[in-house]
Structure 1
Amino acid sequence: MANGSTFSVIGPDVTIRGNIEATVDLHVDGQVIGDIACASLVQGEGSRVEGEIKAETARLSGHVTGRIEARNLVVLKSARIEGDVSYETLTIEQGATVDGRFAPLGKRGNAGGAQAQAQAARVVADSDQDAQRKMTLAA
């Protein structure tokens, strides 16, 4: 795993068709049609990802069509997500659009639809007992 000093950038004028695997941090301002697996992902406002995202940390502000799995996920107000989201900690800014189900990491296979949303709400309520999983709504 990278020590945090290395990162790669996909510029706004770049379209990648295919999967991306990186052991470093990745900043996407362009378009990716394929899956992304990386240590940390920062998605720019004008960018688009059509595929699955797997990252330790992800900060999303563009358009994502596909499943997202991240330990620490921040969804900014400009983000539009179409797909299911698995997380350990989750922050969503007011104004973000998410069309999919939320489930804590490890619970995705057991929870579906309303159950997943109820489970996410329970995660907030149980945050004092389970400090490792939490969901917050940012103002």
Structure 2
Amino acid sequence: MASNSSTFSVIGSDVTIKGDISASADLHVDGTIEGDIACASLVQGESSKITGGITAESARLAGKVTGSIRARELVILRSAQIEGDVHYEALTIEQGAQVDGRFAHGARNRVTDAAKIAPEGGKPASADEPKLGLVR
């Protein structure tokens, strides 16, 4: 049985996938994906198009992404076009990259019991809504 650290999968530029992808290995995408991706590491080619959420330990994006991104280490290259919210621990963006969405650092994005307390209106706060707190 091969070790996950040495395996990777490639989705070629002539491939279109409609559906979610889950991989324990690294994933290189040059084709089109309509669905969510969950993998250890994602490398996206310039001609690639992903419509759906991305969850990865590390991601290097160069194509078009429409959907939210969650990655511990994220690199957005100059050719990337991203429409969606970005959650990260470490972030690198090359000059010229296009991002239309909100950025949230992972440490500030954790949902805690205190963040779930209802505001003055009595309506519970949504986990997706941005939170503002004071640090003393």
Q: Do they superpose with TM above 0.5?
A: yes
Tell me the C-alpha RMSD between the 2 structures.
1.7
CA distance 1:102–1:111, shift in 2 (3 Å): farther
- Amino-acid identity (%): 65
Amino acid at match of 2:25: V
When Rg is computed on C-alpha atoms for both structures, the one with the higher figure is 2
Amino acid at match of 2:76: V
Per the alignment, residue 28 of structure 2 pairs with 27
Per the alignment, residue 11 of structure 1 pairs with 12
Q: Which moved more, 1:88-97 or 1:104-113?
A: 104-113
Runs (5+) with no aligned partner, structure 1:
116-139
CA distance 1:44–1:89, shift in 2 (3 Å): same
Amino acid at match of 1:29: D
Q: In the alignment, is the contact (CA less than 8 A) between 2:59 and 2:73 conserved in 1?
A: yes
Q: How many residues align?
A: 113
Give the match's secondary structure for 1:13.
coil
Amino acid at match of 1:82: E
Q: In the alignment, is the contact (CA less than 8 A) between 2:4 and 2:24 conserved in 1?
A: no
Instruction: Calculate the TM-score normalised by the size of structure 1.
Output: 0.77
Q: In the alignment, is the contact (CA less than 8 A) between 1:8 and 1:27 conserved in 2?
A: yes
Amino acid at match of 2:17: I
Instruction: Calculate the TM-score normalised by the size of structure 2.
Output: 0.78
The alpha carbon displacement at 1:96 in A equals 0.1
Distance 2:18 2:29 in 1: 13
Distance 1:88 1:111 in 2: 19
